[in-house]
């Protein structure tokens, strides 16, 4: 009998080790929401994903030769795009060994092995000296952290004074209806996201972590619907291709739950999405 409790970090690592390929397919090559400035009916998920990364790069504002920490780097596409756009040196950390492998291969394929590197690390305890980075981003990773304030404090610790941190994250936009409360709980359990907080809570959360909020951009109307339509369609497509009889019932169940959650997000919700820019004092 094995009754060793699985830690939250281990459970996230296992989820991404197994599901990174699905997320990349469903979300257009990275593992974050898309951005449709002209509404979700204009353009593909791949284009919207690239636009979201471009928005993050613009907000980070780093220049050639500067060093950036990508906390929760996924399969590496955002770090590679950041390095290509700015000539900054990027270090990406993720809790998933599979993502380190895929991301490292991507950087090598793009000829960036010297400037972009990836390693497994837990954001709870970043293995870097204080004041060692000129910028950082948490590109849709903070939602996974059981104690976001602690992780933001870790982030502030490794940044040089005046450096910028850009956060993109799922946020709450005002009081939730009972249906939204239920969706939040189901979504949180599905993707292991225990710490989705109101957008309005960020100024204090950041201040308690040694960071000053400079800009808060609620982009829900330009990101939520298109992203979940893409997710819904990817899950549906996979469900149609898996052989009902032979497929692992756990996989079928997970795909159905993913599709059902995605459908609920496309119907309108106060669980939104935002980009925040802060600086270290
Ligand atoms: C939604 S994905 C975003 C990936 C990537 N930033 C992107 O935009 O494609 C969340 C990422 O956070 C990472 N993550 C979650 N908890 C973590 C932790 N405690 N320490 C480091 N990375 C973590 C996951 O492994 C995953 O790479």
Q: Counting Cβ atoms within 10 Å, is residue 190 exposed (0-12), middle (13-18) or buried (19+)?
A: middle
Check if 50 has its Cβ closer than 6 Å to any atom of ligand 1.
no
* Residue range 102-110: mean pLDDT, rounded: 98
Smallest CA separation from ligand 1 atom 17, residue: 95
CATH code matching the domain that covers 8-174+192-220+270-280, chosen among 3.10.20.80, 3.30.1360.200, 3.20.20.70, 3.40.50.150: 3.40.50.150
Which residues lie closer than 8 Å to 85 by C-beta, 6 or more apart? 54, 57
Residue ranges per structural domain of the chain = 8-174+192-220+270-280
Kind plus residue range of the DSSP H or E element containing 272: strand 271-280
Choose the residue to mutate in 72, 92, 223 for probing ligand 1, maximizing ligand atoms within 8 Å of C-beta: 72
pLDDT tens sequence across 232-271: 999 999 888 876 666 778 888 888 999 999 999 998 899 9
Query: For strand 271-280 and strand 211-218, is the pairing parallel, antiparallel, or unpaired?
Result: antiparallel
Q: Can 140 be counted among the known catalytic residues?
A: yes
Per-residue pLDDT, 1? 40
* Residue range 55-61: mean pLDDT, rounded: 98
Q: Cβ atoms within 10 A of the Cβ of 232, count?
A: 20
Of 47, 98, 105, 140, the catalytic one is 140
Choose the residue to mutate in 45, 144, 147, 188 for probing ligand 1, maximizing ligand atoms within 8 Å of C-beta: 144
pLDDT tens sequence across 203-219: 999 999 999 999 999 99
277 or 254, which is more confident: 277
Per-residue pLDDT, 169? 98
| Region for 69 from its dihedrals, namely left if φ exceeds 0, alpha if ψ lies in -120 to 50, beta otherwise | beta
pLDDT tens sequence across 147-192: 999 999 999 999 999 999 999 999 999 999 999 999 999 999 999 9
What is the residue-averaged pLDDT of the chain? Answer: 94
Check if 99 has its Cβ closer than 6 Å to any atom of ligand 1.
yes
Question: Distance from the CA of 94 to the center of ligand 1, in angstroms?
Answer: 5
Question: Distance from the CA of 266 to the center of ligand 1, in angstroms?
Answer: 23
């Amino acid at each position: 009998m094995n009754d060793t409790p699985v830690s939250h970090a281990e459970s996230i690592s296992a989820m991404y080790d197994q599901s990174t390929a699905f997320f990349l397919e469903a979300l257009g090559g990275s593992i974050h929401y898309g951005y449709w400035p002209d509404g979700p009916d204009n353009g593909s998920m791949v284009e919207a994903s690239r636009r979201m990364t471009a928005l993050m790069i613009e907000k980070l504002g780093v220049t050639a030769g500067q060093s950036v920490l990508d906390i929760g780097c996924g399969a590496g596409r955002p770090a590679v795009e950041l390095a290509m756009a700015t000539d900054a040196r990027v270090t990406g950390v993720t809790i998933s060994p599979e993502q380190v492998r895929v991301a490292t291969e991507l950087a090598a394929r793009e000829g960036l092995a010297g400037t972009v590197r990836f390693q497994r690390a837990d954001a709870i305890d970043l293995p870097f000296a204080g004041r060692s980075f000129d910028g950082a981003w948490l590109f849709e990773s903070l939602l996974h952290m059981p104690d976001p304030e602690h992780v933001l404090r870790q982030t502030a610790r490794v940044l040089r004074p005046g450096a910028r941190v850009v956060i993109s994250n799922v946020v709450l936009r005002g009081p939730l209806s009972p249906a939204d409360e239920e969706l939040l709980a189901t979504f949180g359990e599905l993707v292991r996201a225990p710490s989705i907080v109101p957008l309005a809570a960020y100024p204090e959360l950041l201040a308690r972590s040694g960071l000053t909020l400079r800009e808060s951009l609620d982009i829900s109307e330009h990101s939520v619907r298109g992203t979940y339509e893409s997710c819904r369609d990817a899950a549906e497509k996979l469900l149609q291709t898996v052989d009902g009889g032979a497929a692992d019932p756990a996989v079928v169940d997970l795909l159905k739950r993913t599709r059902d959650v995605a459908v609920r997000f496309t119907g309108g919700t106060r669980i939104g999405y935002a980009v925040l820019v802060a600086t270290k004092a």
